[in-house]
Structure 1
């Protein structure tokens, strides 16, 4: 039997002792409060990130992708409290995407312990809007309409690991394509779109379940109403993913998403390789010249208003929501843990309860900074990057 894991329950603030056997929580025992236990770290279920492009100088979209890159990224994410994640590939050529998904599948199959946090691949493209603004940093030459045969070839190369696909439903055959994805077990997310409200509704009816970084990947100016943002906010069926880094969305819009989506609000890092890197001008394999500012804003060098991904990981986004008073600490944590786990159907959605996987995180929080102290995957402690 493993030694019990002790900390303050992230929801109640009460000291608890979590017993673990064979990778699962067997009991969560609430203890009497005492001065000594008041300084215990917080204890919460592991974070789940549905959109990770890279980090710490590692880039999943620099090809050819090596399994070793995937393994190292998985290790670093665990050290940041992320016990489950979706490696994310953005728009690229057909063969390039086939090679990348194959490398991720190879890492997951050959090194299940090291890459055990991979719960599916997120393909963000290439079936996106070709328009400036919604397209974002995705290369125009590789964007095109949904192609079922091509997706099946990618899924074969990925050994069935493709779990999320971001699609713009503005294409003529989008609804039928979304329905086929849904039937096959692939979760379709609406994103990088210039679709009409009617096309958004058709996509939801066909089985779309999520909005990719809602509020980003859009035109700089929209009609007052109707528009594709209002339509996605109003669709109760859609989970709303958001990047809460103080750069991608203003606090007012974050508040609106939180209120509209409630338990379907999801925090995603959308982290790229420059996350954790010093400010400066960099060249990305896809996106070209980009600038990372001291404030953590990552934008295209030629257009400061077009963001090129996020440079902030999930723990800091949780802290941002809590510090800004947009959500309680436990609510913000659930947006990055229980909510995405529920969408993916992970057992981890049960949280700190007997029977749930022992994917846990201990951390300190001082009303401004959240520091991950220790992380457990299936009850095994992992080194932290902080």
Structure 2
């Protein structure tokens, strides 16, 4: 199938025509357009979200997880411009994690077309800090030290889909575990940690490549220096993931992460099942009673200072960064597309370039609000209006 898609290049602002053949971009050509360029929507590569727990009432961590839930979430995310994502399973019992991982793998087998956006499974826990604060909403009873045999069982249940695992390197033997993950092509991200700076450095040397929602999942107060946040910011080897929803991190810290990490700064939604839901108090399968405020802040009901995930999807986080003047529109978009794709080694990292997959998004941006128009996955179009009110 041949297709031509016209829009304003998200980096240059110039009108371009993108030619697509058999799901790939064959050329990107500047064109002259009438009426004015301002009437054209922006055109950008598809978004890649490394941390999605759910959305629209769909929860990947409520058991039994059904393949239909995974597939519907994939459809909904595509309507939000997310052409690649990592379903994320958080801390749970050994059998429960295996069952959830198996359901995701079954969804991929049942409907590989719909599930094409799944670029790997992110296992966030259970090898995290047991301390209050760093542990966040993860249930203490299932937290424990790194266990290679358990990870292998989960990977078998996932049929090889596990691509990222979040680990706290404060546990004895963590460095050896990280090294084994690296050898098995599983990316290790440091997160929910109370590790010392020395333990952070040891984890990086062993092969850790990322920081999970840097600045969150921490103690409420830290030593001025040294501490585990400074150490991760200073590690050039680490990609830094951030949640830019106006609640998880203040603008100054977002600015620091963007400046320190540059091409390794990544936006993640950390979206939970309550994303797209009305404000109120809810009970989650993991995390217990939580409150979603009218401003979109999601926190533990009994501990308002502790967040329980995000209720904002990636397009709105891109708009937040750009609208706050923390990054240009192109820089913010790359944090949610090219940068995470590069970390995973995906072809989408090439962006709007000949030879890249035709994973594209068109949108309008008024300086504050970003409105999605259309999304293409491997050149196949999908309107973004179906869930525009969600």
Which whole-Å CA distance do the structure 2 matches of 1:11 and 1:104 have between them?
35
Residues 122-161 of structure 1 deviation map (CA, whole Å, 9 limit, x = unaligned): 0000000000000000000000000000000000000000
1:358 partnered with 2:323: no
Which residue matches 1:265? 265
Alpha-carbon contact 1:191-1:212 (below 8 Å) kept: yes
Which residue matches 1:108? 108
Which whole-Å CA distance do the structure 2 matches of 1:383 and 1:77 have between them?
12
Alignment of 1:75-224 (within 5 A): 75-224=75-224
Alpha-carbon contact 2:46-2:84 (below 8 Å) kept: yes
Which whole-Å CA distance do the structure 1 matches of 2:229 and 2:32 have between them?
48
Which residue matches 1:381? 381
SS at match of 2:325: coil
Shift of 1:227: 0.2
Which whole-Å CA distance do the structure 1 matches of 2:223 and 2:235 have between them?
19
Residues 74-121 of structure 1 deviation map (CA, whole Å, 9 limit, x = unaligned): 000000000000000000000000000000011112211011100000
Give TM-score, length-normalised by structure 2.
0.98
Which whole-Å CA distance do the structure 1 matches of 2:3 and 2:205 have between them?
49
Alpha-carbon contact 2:60-2:87 (below 8 Å) kept: yes
Residues 229-251 of structure 1 deviation map (CA, whole Å, 9 limit, x = unaligned): 00000000000000000000000
Shift of 1:33: 4.8
Alpha-carbon contact 2:195-2:228 (below 8 Å) kept: yes
SS at match of 1:25: strand
Which whole-Å CA distance do the structure 2 matches of 1:185 and 1:110 have between them?
25
Alpha-carbon contact 1:7-1:41 (below 8 Å) kept: yes
Deviates more, 1:313-322 or 1:29-38: 29-38
Figure out how many residues of one structure are paired with residues of the other and give that number. Answer: 386
Which residue matches 2:45? 45
Which residue matches 1:24? 24
SS at match of 2:178: helix
1:303 partnered with 2:269: no
Alpha-carbon contact 1:240-1:261 (below 8 Å) kept: yes
Which whole-Å CA distance do the structure 2 matches of 1:13 and 1:109 have between them?
40
Moved over 4 A (4+): none
SS at match of 2:304: strand
Shift of 1:2: 2.4
Which residue matches 1:344? 344
Which whole-Å CA distance do the structure 2 matches of 1:186 and 1:283 have between them?
32
Which whole-Å CA distance do the structure 2 matches of 1:219 and 1:382 have between them?
42
**Root mean square deviation, CA, Å:** 0.7
Which whole-Å CA distance do the structure 2 matches of 1:141 and 1:155 have between them?
22
Residues 13-36 of structure 1 deviation map (CA, whole Å, 9 limit, x = unaligned): 000110000100001110125434
Which whole-Å CA distance do the structure 1 matches of 2:14 and 2:39 have between them?
11
Residues 211-258 of structure 1 deviation map (CA, whole Å, 9 limit, x = unaligned): 000000000000000000000000000000000000000000000000
Alpha-carbon contact 1:89-1:122 (below 8 Å) kept: yes
Which residue matches 2:317? 317
Residues 174-224 of structure 1 deviation map (CA, whole Å, 9 limit, x = unaligned): 000000000000000000000000000000000000000000000000000
Alpha-carbon contact 1:14-1:33 (below 8 Å) kept: no
Which whole-Å CA distance do the structure 1 matches of 2:41 and 2:138 have between them?
41
Shift of 1:313: 0.2
Alpha-carbon contact 2:338-2:349 (below 8 Å) kept: yes
1:226 partnered with 2:215: no
Which whole-Å CA distance do the structure 1 matches of 2:56 and 2:25 have between them?
31
Shift of 1:357: 0.1
SS at match of 1:332: helix
Alpha-carbon contact 2:3-2:21 (below 8 Å) kept: no
Which whole-Å CA distance do the structure 1 matches of 2:350 and 2:88 have between them?
25
Alpha-carbon contact 2:197-2:228 (below 8 Å) kept: yes
Residues 293-348 of structure 1 deviation map (CA, whole Å, 9 limit, x = unaligned): 01110000001100000000000000000000000000000000000000000000
Gaps in structure 1 of 5+ consecutive residues? none
SS at match of 1:269: coil
Shift of 1:382: 1.5
